[in-house]
Amino acid sequence: MTSATAWLVGQKQHLVNVSNARIQLRLSNPDETQMGEGFERRKAARNTLDRPGFGVTREGHELLIGVPEITGPTGQRVHPREMGAVIADVTGAGRLEKLARLPDRIQLSQIVAAFADTAEAADPLNIPFAISESALQPAVLATRTVPNMLVLGRQSCGKTTTLAAIGQAITGRLTPEQAQITIVDPKTTLTGKIQGPHVRAYAYTADDIDEVIAGLAESMRARLPPSGLSQEELLNRSAWEGPRHFLLIDDEQELRPHGVIGKQAATAPLWGLLERSREIGLHVIVSRLPGNWAGVSVTNPFLQKMTSSRAPTLFMDNDPAGVKVFGRIAAQQLPPGRGLMVTTDGIIEGVLVGAPE
């Protein structure tokens, strides 16, 4: 299971840090060997046979671990691969049910139908878009408390499909009077996937994107309290009225990242609003390629503001060596539609995004 794999990776790193052991089995990446520095040690790690029990010592010598000796009820020697039959004979337990696993594909309509029977469905701002790995139940973006989300992955991993699934789920859960959708689509990959009266604006050229984002930001700023109010006036101030606004940005890396002469960054009008998005009914769902994620995630002001708003990140197919999910836990190579949903608290859940219509 994906979440279990992530846990094991973290435990492996912990053991490397605290253990005195100097025995190493074959690594998926031999260059990460802990058996000393230098070409010869890395060569020894690479030459470790890819068979159970083979490893390398601290001195770079080949190692074969002995097979444990197991004795059966009558004293006979039992091969480890035969232990299942012995245990079944002793306990009377037969073969257990097959482990339930995520399917290769699931329709969004199936997820929405299953979600309708749950207690969470009472809140229309809970948006089902995927199925979770742990319980094989609908995975939900609770936009009332977690208004924003970032989707990160390599080409053809399912980023655009995720935005389409969320957009279609919104149109099915909320009326146009309750929710308006703005689509920013610089590569036109979302064209035609979300349609109807919910769609307030669709922009794909640089000038149109600037205009659409600036207009949305201006309407959102009008929902913030004006300056000069007393504490009593702030406490008694009526809440904003109108629909919630969902901004879907596909391929955010294609937008103008930094200001140029006469123009600011494309997303700059949103920077001061993201951390208050819960307060003003703004929901920003963004997808992008990872690029140099270690650097981009700390230098891009827009991504920093998304993180500050406690937006969860859906890590889809990524290079484990270049993208860290949380702490030292690396991202994974995943089939299209699969991902790791990670909160800012480090909670990790494997999901499969529903295929939209």
At residue 350, φ and ψ (nearest 5 deg) are -75, 135
Are both 135 and 249 inside the same structural domain? yes
**Residue 256 resides in a domain:** yes
The length of the chain, given as a count of residues: 357
Domain encompassing residue 55:
2-14+22-64
Whether 331 and 209 share a structural domain: yes
112 with 54, same domain: the answer is: no
CA pair distance 242, 174, nearest whole angstrom = 13
This prediction has a pTM of 0.74
Strands of 158-301 (E only): list them.
179-184, 199-203, 244-249, 282-288
Question: Does residue 137 lie in a domain region?
Answer: yes
146 located within any domain: yes
In a domain, 121, yes or no: yes
pLDDT of residue 91: 79
Say if residue 323 is in the same domain as residue 271. Answer: yes
Report yes or no on 258 lying in a domain. yes
> What b-and-e string marks burial along 104-141, b requiring 16 or more CB atoms within 10 Å of the CB?
eebebeebbebbeeeeebeebbbbbbbbbbeeeebbbb
Do both 51 and 153 map to the same domain?
no
Q: Is residue 192 classed as helix, strand or coil in its secondary structure?
A: coil
Q: Give the angle 22-26-30 at the CA atoms, nearest 5°.
A: 90
In a domain, 34, yes or no: yes
266 with 184, same domain?
yes
Question: What's residue 109's pLDDT?
Answer: 96
Q: pLDDT tens track of the chain, all 357 residues?
A: 455 445 444 545 544 554 455 677 777 777 777 777 777 777 878 888 888 888 888 888 888 888 777 887 788 888 777 877 888 887 777 666 666 778 889 999 999 999 999 999 999 999 999 999 988 899 999 999 999 999 999 999 999 999 999 999 999 999 999 999 999 999 999 999 999 999 999 999 999 999 999 999 999 999 999 999 999 988 988 889 999 999 999 999 999 987 677 789 999 999 999 999 999 999 999 999 999 998 999 899 999 999 999 999 999 999 998 999 988 889 999 999 999 999 988 899 999 999 998
Contacts of 93 (CB under 8 A, 6+ apart): 87
Instruction: Name the domain count of the chain.
Output: 2
Clarify whether residues 117 and 215 are in a common domain: yes
Q: Are 136 and 58 found together in one domain?
A: no
Same structural domain for residues 37 and 137? no
Q: Is residue 81 part of a domain?
A: no
CA distance 191 to 331: 29
Q: What is the CATH number of the domain that holds 191?
A: 3.40.50.300
Q: What is the pLDDT of residue 17?
A: 53
Q: Is residue 78 part of a domain?
A: no
Give yes or no: residues 134 and 259 share one domain: yes
Same domain, 126 and 199: yes
Are residue 46 and residue 132 in the same domain, yes or no? no
